[in-house]
Structure 1
Amino acid sequence: MGHWLVIDLEATTEEGGWPVTEMEIIEIGASLVSAEGRELDHFQRFVRPLRRPCLTSFCRELTHISQANVDAAAPLASIWPLFERWLAAHLPRLAGWASWGEYDRRQLEQEWQRHGLSSVLAQLPHLNLKQRFAEVRQLARPVGLHSALQLAGFSFHGQQHRALEDARNTARLLPLILPA
């Protein structure tokens, strides 16, 4: 069984939410894990948004990401090649990538297009772990990450709505979702 890459993004937003087309990535978190859910490597970077460079107070409170964090960061066009270079070393063992829901995949695809970037992820299978967890647990409808962890008997580790910590917590559910 190969390794899995679990990705979580934080993005610009406002209370009540913005459409995905209005959001921009402000943090990338990725946890490379074995099929058993053990972390082998990770990647985390802040990203400077270009269209709306000032974070809303709602966004800062939700994510605990400061304006200084994103002001000091490079834009996605500079960060993404660093991610791809990091990922390249792991590609031979990579079975695919996963996220909690479809949002992260859609946001990445939109931003790749907007910035003229390409990604090896586009050629790899993507698992919607939120949907898969609901199917495996026979839930009436998908639940949030925090609820899924509770249903699995886990508590959330770290700060919620931070990309790497959300990715790591999502990865803890992989062994319960992937076929043995």
Structure 2
Amino acid sequence: MGHWLVLDLEATTEEGGWPVDEMEIIEIGASLVDATGREIDHFQRFVRPLRRPLLTTFCRELTHVTQNDIDAARPLSQVWPAFERWLEPHHPRLQGWASWGDYDRQQLHLEWQRQQLGSHLSSLAHTDLKRHFAKVRQLKRPVGLHAALALAGMSFQGQQHRALDDARNTARLLPLAFDGRTG
């Protein structure tokens, strides 16, 4: 059985939200898991935004990412190649990648184009686990990660709106989203 990459991004924002094309990645979290959702490896890095390097108060409070974390971080043009190097040895067993919702895929594609970055992920199928989970569970509409974990009889582990913790919690739902078993 192959492996799955579960990826989560945190990005610049303000209360009420910004359009995706105005947001910039500030943190990448990825959990590489087997089909049961067990973590094999992980990746986490902060990213310095270029257009709006000062985080809004709302963004800092939501993500618990500090201005110091961002000031010390490298831009995506340097962080993404490090991510690709981390992922490279796992390529042969990688079945696909997933995120909770479609935002992460959209943001990555936008940043890849904007910064002319290549990615192995662009050749892999992306699964929106939020939609997939809702379909398998026959929910009227997709729910947030916290609610999905509760429906599966689990509680969130770690700090919400931190990329690696969100990715790891999403990965816990991966087996349920694919086969519908209860937690």
Same fold (TM over 0.5): yes
Q: Which runs of 4+ in 1 moved over 4 A?
A: none
Report the residue type matching 1:143 in the other structure.
V
| Cα deviation code 1:15-68 (max 9, x no counterpart) | 000000000000000000000000000000000000000000000000000000
Q: Which runs of 5+ in 2 are unaligned?
A: none
Q: Distance in 1 between matches of 2:145 and 2:126?
A: 17
| Cα deviation code 1:118-170 (max 9, x no counterpart) | 10100001000000000000000000000000000000000000000000000
Report the residue type matching 1:151 in the other structure.
L
Report the residue type matching 1:110 in the other structure.
L
1:145 correspondence with 2:145: yes
Q: Given the two structures, how large is their TM-score scaled by the length of structure 2?
A: 0.97
| Cα deviation code 1:56-83 (max 9, x no counterpart) | 0000000000000000000000000000
- Sequence identity of aligned pairs in percent? 74
Q: Name the count of aligned residue pairs.
A: 180
Q: Which residue is 1:7 aligned to?
A: 7
Contact 2:7 2:28 in 1 (8 A): yes
Report the residue type matching 1:91 in the other structure.
H
Report the residue type matching 2:64 in the other structure.
H
Q: Which residue is 1:123 aligned to?
A: 123
Q: Which runs of 5+ in 1 are unaligned?
A: none
Contact 2:146 2:156 in 1 (8 A): yes
Let me know the Cα RMSD of the aligned residues.
Answer: 0.8
- Report the alpha carbon displacement of residue 177 of structure 1 after superposing the two structures with TM: 1.3
Q: Given the two structures, how large is their TM-score scaled by the length of structure 1?
A: 0.99
Report the residue type matching 1:122 in the other structure.
S
- Report the alpha carbon displacement of residue 179 of structure 1 after superposing the two structures with TM: 3.7
Q: Distance in 2 between matches of 1:43 and 1:140?
A: 34
**Structure 1 segment 73-152 matched on structure 2, within 5 A:** 73-152=73-152
